[in-house]
Amino acid sequence: MTTPIPTEDKRLFAYPQDRSCPWQPSSGYRELGERGPLHRVRLWDGKSIWMVTGHAQARRLLADPRMSADRSRDDFPAVLPRLDAPIFKPIAIIGFDPPVHDIHRRMLAPDFSLKQVRALRGSVEELTGKLVDDMLRKGPPAELIEDYALPIPSMVISELLGVPYDDHAFFEAKTVGLLQAKSAQDAEAAGRALWDYLDELITAKEREPGGEGVLSRLVGRVDEDGDLTREDLLRIALALLLGGHDTTSQMIALGVVTLLEHPHQLAALRADPGVLPAAVDELLRMVSVTDVSGVRVATEDIEIDGYVIRAGEGVLVSSSMTNRDPEVFPDPYRFDVHRAGGRNAASGRHHLTFGFGIHQCLGQNLARMELEVAFAVLFDRIPDLRLAVPLDGLPTRSGGTMQGVHTLPVEW
C-alpha cells in the first residue's frame, strides 16, 4: 500500500541528519530542540513520526507500557531503509514487548550483571594492555579502530558468548554491513550471513554440550514448547553479537577523539583517575553514539504535556538531543568531565544514551567497564597520543543514526 505524501509533510524536518562535528548533533537538531520537547519529523519513506528531544518526556514515554517496541507490528516505523529488512523484524529482546522480552532479558541478566562485569575487568585490562604493546611495537602511526577500539569489545563479547574470536574479521565485517547498509536488501544479505554463521555455531554447541559462554549455557535451555525456542536463541545470539561490539568500538574511538580535542578535560581526567567513571558517562552523554534511545509505537492515544500521540503513531527518542536538555544538563553543549560534581558515583548517569524503561541497554555495565579500561590504559601508556589527520579529515559514517569513523589514524 502506498499513501501519497501530503504536501505539508514535505516541509517537515527530515530525520536523520548528519553531524558536522563528531561529538555534537547537527545544527538542525539543535534548532528543533529549542522549539519544544516533541516534534513531527519525516522519514526516508515519506512517513512522519514523533521525535522526542525533551528529557522528562522521553523518560515518561520510554517507561510507558502503552508504547510498544514490537518491530513485527505493521505500524512500527522503519527509521532507516535497512530497518525494513526482515532480519530486523523481529530482533531479539529490543524488538519484543513483555512478557517475551522480560523472560529473555532475565535469562541473560546473570551474564551481564554488575558482579559479572566486575569479575571480567582484570582480563579486559590484560587484553587492552597487550593491544597497546602491539601498537607500540609496530608504530607510530596506528589505526586506532583496527588496532584498539574494535578488538577490545569484539574479544570481550566473543569470550562472553562463546563465539570463536578467530572468526572476528567475518562477523565484524558483516555487522558493519548490516548496521551501515543503505538498503533493506544489503542489510538482509549481511544479516543472513551472520544468521547462518550463528546457526552453524549453535549446531556445533548442540553436538558438544558443556562448553563455555552464554550461548552454550542457553543451548541447554532450548525447549520448543517453552520459553526459549531454537529460533529465539539464534535471534538472541545475533542481537548480542551485533550489540556487543560495534557501538562500543565507535564509542571508544569517538571518545578518544573528543578527549584529544579537549586537552584541558583530558588533563583533568589524567590528574584524577577517580573522575574516570563520571568522565565515561559524560562522554556517553556528549557523543550519543547511537542517536536512537528508543523507537516505539503508541498502542493507545497518549497525552503528554499538551501533545497527543495517537494510537499507531511512531515515536523516536533522540539521545543526542535529550542528552542536551538544558533542564537536566546546564550548558549542555559543553563537554565537562566534572559535570556530575563528584556527589555520587551515579549522578552522571541521567543521560539516555542507553535508553530508559525496560529496554535500557542490557550491556551498559559491560560497556562502561570496557570504556573505562580503554581510555585509562591508552592515555596512561601513550600520553602523547594525537590524531594523525586533521579533525575534519576523519572519514565519518553518514546517512544513519549510529555515529562513527571508518578509520582513526593516530600517532605519538
Partner 1 sequence: MKVTADRRRCMAAGHCAISAPTVFDHGEDGLVVVLDADPGEDAREAVETAEDLCPSRAIAVETAGTERVPAR
Applying CB under 8 A, the residues found at the interface with partner 1 are 60, 62-65, 102, 105-106, 109-116, 343-347, 349-350, 355-358, 360, 364-365
Give the separation between CA 402 and CA 68, rounded to whole angstroms. Answer: 22
Give the separation between CA 160 and CA 156, rounded to whole angstroms. Answer: 6
Residue closer to partner 1, measured from CB, 102 or 305:
102
Rounded to a whole number of angstroms, the minimum distance from the CB of residue 107 to partner 1 is: 10
Residue closest to 152 by CA, chosen among 134, 136, 140: 134
CB neighbour burial string for 124-146, b if at least 16 within 10 angstroms, e if fewer:
bbeebeebbeebeeeeeebbbbe
Residue closer to partner 1, measured from CB, 204 or 345:
345
Three-state DSSP state, 370: helix
Query: C-alpha grid cell for residue 342?
Result: 563528584
Can you name the residues that pair with 386 across neighbouring β-strands?
411
Rounded to a whole number of angstroms, the minimum distance from the CB of residue 269 to partner 1 is: 19
Residue closer to partner 1, measured from CB, 174 or 351:
351
The burial class, CB within 10 Å (0-12 / 13-18 / 19+), for 80 is: buried
Three-state DSSP state, 143: strand
The amino acid sitting at 390 is: P
Rounded to a whole number of angstroms, the minimum distance from the CB of residue 101 to partner 1 is: 9
Residue closer to partner 1, measured from CB, 63 or 391:
63
Question: Which residue blocks in 139-229 are alpha helix, DSSP H?
Answer: 144, 151-161, 168-179, 184-207, 214-219
Rounded to a whole number of angstroms, the minimum distance from the CB of residue 328 to partner 1 is: 11
Residue closer to partner 1, measured from CB, 254 or 337:
337
Rounded to a whole number of angstroms, the minimum distance from the CB of residue 272 to partner 1 is: 19
Rounded to a whole number of angstroms, the minimum distance from the CB of residue 296 to partner 1 is: 14
Q: Is the peptide bond before 90 cis (omega within 30 degrees of 0)?
A: yes
Residue closer to partner 1, measured from CB, 83 or 218:
218
Residue closer to partner 1, measured from CB, 91 or 408:
91
Rounded to a whole number of angstroms, the minimum distance from the CB of residue 341 to partner 1 is: 12
Q: Which residues contact 407 (CB under 8 A, 6 or more apart)?
A: 143, 145, 146, 395
Rounded to a whole number of angstroms, the minimum distance from the CB of residue 159 to partner 1 is: 18
Task: Tell me the C-alpha to C-alpha distance, in Å, between residue 95 and each of 67, 100, 131, 153, 373.
Answer: 12, 10, 35, 23, 30
Residue closer to partner 1, measured from CB, 60 or 168:
60
Residue closer to partner 1, measured from CB, 48 or 293:
293
The amino acid sitting at 318 is: S
Rounded to a whole number of angstroms, the minimum distance from the CB of residue 362 to partner 1 is: 8
> Which H/E stretch holds residue 49?
strand 48-52
